[in-house]
Amino acid sequence: MKTFLAALLLFPILVFAQAKHPLTVDDLWAMKRIGSFDLSPDGKTIAFDVTAYNMDENKGNTDIYLINSDGSNLRPLKNSDKNESSPHFSPDGKKIAYLVDDQVHTCNLNGSDDEQVTDLYTGVDDYRWSGDGKNFLLISSVYADCGTQDCNKKKDDEKKESKADVRILTHLMFRVWNHWLNGKRSHLFLFDAAKKEYYDLNYKMHNDVPPLDLVSDNDFNFSPDGRQVAYTMNPNSVVATSTNNEVYTVNLADVKKDEQPASKKISESKGNDNQPVYSPDGKYIAFTSMLVPGHESDQSYLVLYDRKTGALKNLTKDFNRSIEQIIWSPDSKTIYFTANNEIFNSVYKIEIASGKIKLILKEHSNGNLVISPNGKTIYFKQQMSTQPYEIFSMNTDGGDIRQITHLNNDRLANIEMIPLETFWCKGADGKNIESILVKPPFFNPDKKYPMIFLIHGGPQGHWEDDFHYRWNTELFASKGYVVIAPNPTGSTGYGQAFTNAVSRDWGGRPYKDLMDVYDYAVKKFNFIDKKNTFAAGASFGGYMINWIEGHTNRFNALVSHDGVFNTVSMWGTTEELWFPEWEFNGTPWTNRALYEKWNPQRFIQNAKTPMLIVEGAHDYRVPEDQAFQLFTSLQRLGVQSKMLLFNNEYHFVVKPQDARFWWNSVFEWFDQHKK
């Protein structure tokens, strides 16, 4: 099987003339998914990991490939039945490090001379290579009270040997997303590769590095000279109510075995600060910063820390978009960054001296920026509604865009998909609302098609021009539906005021925006069959489906996936308390009125629309009690309803067979309720 998958990547399949077909669930899961990638120090080679899924085996496997930076000579580096991931070139470009079996390995550029570098009992979750190639930074989950690996092993062994199957909870938070914390903390280790010695930089600290949530993909780094480390950590004792991630530095000369080294906090905001990245000349640390405590979707600014003076400067205080990934130019004069921008994730650059910001690539969804050593070329991943992520390159002014990898061309050539369109209409308070429109394959403007109305999560999120592997707009359209996906109040990419306006108003302006878009669409587009419209949403989108259930009969049937049904009880079972306490301005006992005002449970007696309810048993963000309460209410009211409880899924459905079942169930539900 592995040889066959490698052959698919290395040699394009001859595509004979044949009729195209609509996108299927199996097509979706057959796409090869590019993950992380790195550029060699000479700028000539890209190393990247690729995950391929096997529907029959119900799992995926990740391998590492190399390709020349001009797109030629694709070849495997590590291609086994194990998961090899996270490739990084050594500073001299002669070796590649990667993760396998929770340890760091290195090998030559042809895959030979493989060596296991680390042997941490607690394993390695992520890592960085120092600029001189002598040290590594490692992330590993340990018992905070343990100072040694032997102590960690002993504690694990004691748990395995215990006859009592019990969890003892003594603090918040005790679980996150889809897993229990079990008393362990994520710590940052310095590993001296020559001496084979590990130094816990968070020795016996009951804090996580990186934090449990609200993190970036780049939350710990060496300084260019290798003498200092910057990292992100939430210092609060109760992180369940805190978004106060901070940026710290540690001088490695102060690091000693079995001691907690002195650290310095360089960020000042009480909001979420993260992603510390040193400038190549070593003068600055750039990081992203939110100003408002407790607000996880506050505007994210780009802040510059002067390492000599300690001064902080907000470089984007007048820029009305939230900063996401940041990278420095080799000459330390420019920072390139990504930001949500309407339905796109765009690429910008800012000149450090002048503060001038320029949009260099607007369209599609772009990320994982890497810059060439000569500072002339940016490599990045790009996806769009009709194409999964591939690696691209462009000049630093946004010109000469080239596609480097073509891993899914063979399959895409046989699939009929129509690229998305957008339209605008008036919503609440006369605001302009942008929506995505996707037409079904082989579209005929003279026909009428049923409509699927999609509501995004967040609520501070947005529908974008992407090839989503769970809520794929092209796959929703594939069965002969017109898809409408609005970005109502609360969506990102339209300015911070628009994003902020959803908080404390969940069933207000966002609901009016959505209904205004619906009414506009069924009136504007003659190809929509007004008698057959359906709605689906997940997370906040699921909440809105539950709200719709009690407030309108516009739709034939609804799908609520992991949606909040009872705002009061959700507060007591979710793990990140800062979220409901920000969105509803307090706890249920300090502001019960607002929780009740926007509580779908209060209006469930009005329910008439058939609803399919979906829940993951390991969803600790919107726990299963929400789905049980909703299903029980609908059943008692005699409203046609059905519930899917995925025993091994969480807030997302990520296993191939479960995803196939999910898609088939959704389409069957809609088909069942067509007039």
- Residue 60 has, within 13 A of its CA and on its CB side, a CA count of 19
| pLDDT, position 18 | 65
What mean pLDDT value characterizes the chain? Answer: 96
Sorted by where each begins, the domain ranges of the chain are: 144-159+168-297, 417-672
Inform me whether the pLDDT recorded for 8 exceeds 80.
no
Distance CA 290, CA 296 (A): 8
pTM of the model: 0.95
CATH level 3 topology of 417-672: Rossmann fold (3.40.50)
Q: What is the pLDDT of residues 273-288, one digit of tens each?
A: 999 999 999 999 999 9
Q: Which residue, among 554, 560, 559, 516, has the nearest Cα to 532 in the 3D structure?
A: 554
- The residues that bridge with 336 in the sheet, in sequence order, are 327, 349
Look at residue 480 and tell me whether its pLDDT is greater than 70: yes
Where does the pLDDT of residue 2 fall: very low under 50, low under 70, confident under 90, or very high at 90 and above? low
Q: Kindly report, residue by residue over 611-666, the tens digit of the pLDDT.
A: 999 999 999 999 999 999 999 999 999 999 999 999 999 999 999 999 999 999 99
The CA distance from 334 to 378, in Å, is: 13
pLDDT by residue (tens digit) across 103-119?
999 999 999 999 999 99
Three-state SS annotation for 477-534? HCCCCEEEEEECCCCCCCCHHHHHCCCCCCCCHHHHHHHHHHHHHHHHCCCEEEEEEE
Spatial distance between the Cα atoms of 547 and 536, rounded to a whole number of angstroms? 12
At 10 the pLDDT is: 53
Residue pLDDT, tens place only, 158-192: 999 999 999 989 889 999 999 999 899 999 999 99
Q: Which residue has the tokens 């073509």?
A: 406
State the amino acid at position 65 in one-letter form. Answer: Y
Give the span between the Cα atoms of 523 and 247, in whole angstroms.
Answer: 51
